[in-house]
Each structure stands twice: as structure tokens, then as C-alpha cells.
Structure 1
Amino acid sequence: MSESINILMYHQVGDFPPMKGHRSTYCHHKRFARQMAYLARFGYTVLSMDQVLACLRGERPIPHKAVALTFDDGYENFYEYAWPVLQKHGFPAMVYLISDLLGQPSSWFAADGRATPPLMSAARVRQLRGEGVDFGSHTASHIRLAEQDTARIREEIGRSKATLEDVLGEAVDHFCYPFGSHDRRAVDAVADAGFRSATTCVRAPATMADDPLTLPRKAISYGDNLLGYFWRLHMKNTPKHAFIRRPGETFDTSPA
């Protein structure tokens, strides 16, 4: 039995030209298809975030070669390119949504001179939820939480949860810190809002020793061929931060 779970972090999946910058926020759809086929062929168990949480709480065994698939921001290209592949293999997925930007362009890309691809609309979110996609919160407006005052942190997290629960008509239990930016205040706000898990951009496998509200993940990059994918699945990427024991510390570890 395995003692850890690789929570993988994707952003966009689509048809992208070669690039030099921001590679961790893109995955070419052909490579994504090969990566999912690799997981299926070599016996990986793909878990939902509910199942991840149950494993890390000791409520069920951690399967051998356990992974979870997460997608930040909620791009429309998930529907076109990623979801058909996931359906083919019967893999669950967690998509983290920015509640105030549903159906709008990913405007923060403009600061880097990049195109601003559309995010899923509320109608698309409801459609995909009906087809089995899981959704979580990525705040209301995609801000770096550790840089905000406490009132703004709590308002962003609480409003996002309420909005998404209204869109979906069900509880939204899972959260993701934009840019990996979090501190003690953000974690406390996530807990107080009622989220059961939250993911960061700290790069390591998740274990039962991790706080469910600061779970590590492994970013999958544009340039990852199958050899690189294998390496990411098996690397440890430790040490992890001891954030929960150092209240003044902040983390901001992702480019997007």
C-alpha cells in the first residue's frame, strides 16, 4: 500500500504553440492524452478530492500509485480538450473556479502580454457537474491572498463559496489558493468558511502528515514528455514547509 498521493496541478489543456515562458500553466492536448493513457496503462488509481481527503484522514487505505487531477482557474478549453480524455478513462477531476469571473476572459494574463482565454460560464459549469466533474473554489477574483488585509481575505473566500454553491446548488467543500499564496490568516479563513480541503503549489506528494488545508501538489508543465511526467510522479520534492507551525510565514509559489 502506498503512503502518499500525487495531487497533480494543471491549468490550461489545449492546442498551444511552442513557448519559452509560463510553461507551467499550459499542457498541450496531445501530451495530456498520452499522460492520461500512461496512468491508465500502468495501474495508477485516480482519486477524487473527496477520496483524497478520506485517505489522508485514515478513513480508507491509500491505494497503490494514487493520484488526483486538479485544474486551476476553470478554462473553457477543459471542456473541449481535457474532459473527453478523462471521460474515456473514467477519471475524476477537480476544477477550481474563480467565482466572479465565470464566463469572462482570464484577465490577469494581460499583464504578461498573453492572450486571455475564456473561463467556463455558469451554464458550462452546471453541464459538466451533471456529467461528473467536481468543482471547488479558487477565490472570487484570483488574488494573492497573503498580500491582502484580513477582511479582504475573508470576503474573497466566503463570497466565492456562496456564489459557487448558488451556481451548483450543492456544497462546495474544496479550495485552492491562487498563485499558491497563503498565510495563517488565509488558512484560518478557509477553515472558518467550511472548506474541508485546500491545495497549495508546494511541490511534493501528499501524506497523512499534511494539514488538509495546505495540501501540496505537483505542477505539470507544457514541456513534460512522458519521461518528465514519470519523473514528476516519482520525485519527492521535499522538504515541505512547516507553515502551520510558523504563523507569520507566507507562501507564494506559483506563476499563475
Structure 2
Amino acid sequence: MRRIVILILTLVLLSVTACASRAETMRQVGPIWYENQAIVLLYHDVVDSGEGGAADEVSTIRSDQFEAHLLAMRDNGYRIISMEDFVEFILNQKPIPANAVVITFDDGYENFYTHAYPILQKHGVTASNFIIGIYSDTYYPDAEPHLTWEQMKELKQNGMGIYSHTYNLHRTANTGTDRVESALTHKLFLEQKERLETDDEFKRRIKSDLEFMNRRIADELGEQTPLLAFPYGEYTDLTVELAEEAGIPIFFTTREGINSSTDKLVYRINAGEPYMTAEALIQILQKYSQT
């Protein structure tokens, strides 16, 4: 009987300890800058810290710089949440921690796997990449290497997110004027027919691309809520309408701001520039303080 009592007391103690541990995990540490909102960060390229020259390029940061961003956010009380939690916050008003931050990358470059992913794993946080489907399906020897589906499967299995940056609309194209425009937002000039696309042709091209990309991701990585980051950050009301018809409920822009649970057009802060030190990033984030 004594052994049974001791066993019961041990189990109770373990249960209390586990609950206390979970409560400590959920407790906000440090100042509360904002609540019931989320900041989404945007990155593109991460190069190895030894490749100093490449880190001077637009939309590129060094790996040690990226790690410094993560550490600075942690030390200042920011909580990095998963894309899944952010989607639940937007679609179903699921609560999120105070000072919530979502990390996103655009374009699906392979250096997300080789340089950013190990740092994210090291610090136990997650990020999502919006990939351009055709660059993972087709080898382009002159293009910067992009993620393979095998790499993306590993990323997904280890908590990273993979979403759509369109299949083949991240490009500019001839619109019959002296300017090239985004293939997502403008009618294309059909050279063989010597005319612009009709309204129906434009709508069919956009919707079929978005639907095809949703299916490619689902076939390779499993079913999930489809999300879309607009190429070049450009979109129109018609673009959004067609994307919604393709089953996409949330869209990621390049407009700067902070997001509430009603924002289906998501604001993002560009954190992936060579000049963006950890201190500069924190200063930008604290512009959105409610205190």
C-alpha cells in the first residue's frame, strides 16, 4: 500500500511540474510591446558570413547578421510563432502571444536551406518560404540555386513552412507598351496574335497558375492552407479576387505595418537588407509598440 501511495504522489508531482512548466512557457517574459497583433518579417537571401562581398547586394544579409536578428528579438521579448499559428489567428481568431513575430522568406532560394535553416533550428524557431514553383521544377544553370522538393520535404518535416509565390508569374512581360510589367497584374501582349490578352484569357492564365501551384505544393508536401506572396509585392483587386477563387484566403504584401486578426492582406517589414543591423531591426519593431 505504501508503494502505491508513493507512486500516486510521484505521478501527481510530475503532473504539477509539467503544468508549471507549460505555464512558464506561455508566460510573457519582458515588456509587452503589443497584444493581439503580429509583425511579419520579410527576408530573401542569406549568405555565409565568409562571403562578405555578396552580402552587399540588395535583399541579402549574412548568416551571422540573421542570427543576430533572432537573438535581439529574443532578448527584447519578441515571440516567434509558426505560420500555422498565424493562419489560425487570421482565419479563426486563435490567440497568439504578445509581441508575436512571423518570419518569412521570398523566392525559394537554396540558401534558405543551407544558411538560414541551421540557424533557425539552433534557436528552436520556425520560418516559412514562399517559393516560385517553376524554379524548383526546372533547372536553370544561370539562375541562383533554388530549393529542391527533397529539401522542402525535410524543411516541412522539421517545422518550416513552404507556400506559393506563384508557379510562373514571378516575372515581367511584354504588355504591348514601352514598359514591361508584372505578369501577375497585367495583360500580356500575345505576339503571335498581335494583341493583348482578353479579359477571359487574363483571368484564366492567372487562376490556372495559382491553382496549379497550390496542387504542386499539396502533391509534394501534403495538404495545407494555401497562402500567396505577391511577386514584387504587386496586386490588384482583380488579382485578389482570382486568388480567392483559387482557394487562397490570405495574401502577403510588401507594405510595412503590423497585422491584426482581420488583415487578410498581410503587412510585412523588410528585414533582409545589408544595412539592417539587429539594433536597427529592434528600433523598427518598437515603432509598433502600444505602450
In the other structure, the counterpart of 1:190 is 243
User: CA–CA distance in 2 between the matches of 1:125 and 1:62?
Assistant: 26
Larger Rg: 1 or 2?
A: 2
**What SS does the aligned partner of 1:202 have?**
coil
Q: Does 1:8 align with 2:41?
A: yes
Percent identity of the aligned residues? 25
Runs of 4+ in 1 over 3 A off after TM superposition: 16-22, 103-107
Equivalence for 2:269: 218
Q: Which residue of 1 aligns with 2:229?
A: 176
The alignment status of 1:125 with 2:152, answered yes or no, reads: yes
Shift of 1:69: 0.2
State TM-score, norm by structure 1.
0.80
C-alpha contact 1:100 1:140 (8 A) present in aligned 2? yes
Q: What is the aligned residue count? A: 226
- Per-residue CA shift, 1:204-245, capped at 9, x if unaligned? 1112342x1x11100111210122111221235xxxxxxxxx
Cα deviation, residue 105, structure 1: 6.4
Change (3 A) 1:177 1:56: same
Matched, 1:161 2:214: yes
Q: Which residue of 1 aligns with 2:52?
A: 17
Pick one of 99, 108, 114 that aligns with 2:133: 99
Matches within 5 A, 1:1-256: 2-15=35-48, 16-18=51-53, 23=58, 25-57=59-91, 59-102=93-136, 116-141=143-168, 142-143=170-171, 144=182, 145-148=184-187, 149-210=202-263, 212=264, 214-220=265-271, 221-236=273-288
Shift of 1:78: 0.8
8 Å Cα contact 1:164/1:172 also seen in 2 = no
- Letter of the 1:45 counterpart: R
Compute the TM-score of the two structures, normalised by the length of structure 2: 0.71
CA-to-aligned-CA distance 1:78-111 (integer Å, 9 cap, x gap) = 111111111112112111111111065679xxxx
C-alpha spacing 1:235/1:153, structure 2 compared with 1 (3 Å): farther
* Contact 1:180 1:200 survives alignment (8 Å): yes
Q: Tell me which amino acid in the other structure corresponds to 2:116.
A: A
Uncovered stretches (5+) of structure 1, i.e. residues with no partner: 108-114, 237-256
State the one-letter code of the partner of 2:41.
L
For structure 2, the residue ranges without an aligned partner over 5 or more in a row are: 1-33, 172-181, 188-201
8 Å CA contact retained: 1:96, 1:138? yes
Cα pair distance change 1:178/1:171, threshold 3 Å? same
Root-mean-square deviation (CA, aligned residues, Å) is 2.3
CA distance in 1, matches of 2:112, 2:140: 14
